[in-house]
Amino acid sequence: MQTGTTKGTAVDTAAFNNRFRDVLFAIAAGALTDGSYAFTVQESDTTTDGDFAAVDSSRVLGSVPTFDSASDDNALRSFGVLPTKRYVRLVCTATGATSGGVLVATAVLGNGSLHPVARS
């Protein structure tokens, strides 16, 4: 259950010895009992927490979503990012949430430097 601020796992845009230049984030909400949930996207050259900073809005494709418990149960939202650093992550900040809600995010890497993309 999401309450407070949660920092997502760092996504490595150099996965599979590639250099992905696009990231699509898809965020799905389950049951949101109360509060609102605002997302931000950050990037860094390292996985050190303090090194992450917000991605400039000029490199965000679409709108970074906010979910509201009153209207967004089971909603799905997506947006893209053109990162300039190796790692990207989402940060979700819940406001007015006591029991919280369930949110899940997936990152899809695209526009790699190697074609076809290697697989693990």
Q: Which domains can be identified in the chain, with CATH numbers?
A: 4-110 (2.60.120)
Mean pLDDT of 78-88: 98
Write down how long the chain is.
120
- How many Å is the maximal CA-CA distance in the chain? 47
Mean pLDDT of 84-93: 97
pLDDT at 2: 66
Mean pLDDT of 96-109: 91
**What six digits make up the tokens of 80?**
């893209």
Supply the pTM of this predicted model. 0.89
d(CA 15, CA 74): 30
24-80 tens-digit pLDDT: 999 999 988 889 999 999 999 999 999 999 999 999 999 999 999 878 989 999 999
CA distances to 10, 15, 62, 93, 112 from 57, in Å:
19, 24, 10, 18, 22
Confidence check: pLDDT of 117 > 80: no
Name residue 80's amino acid: G
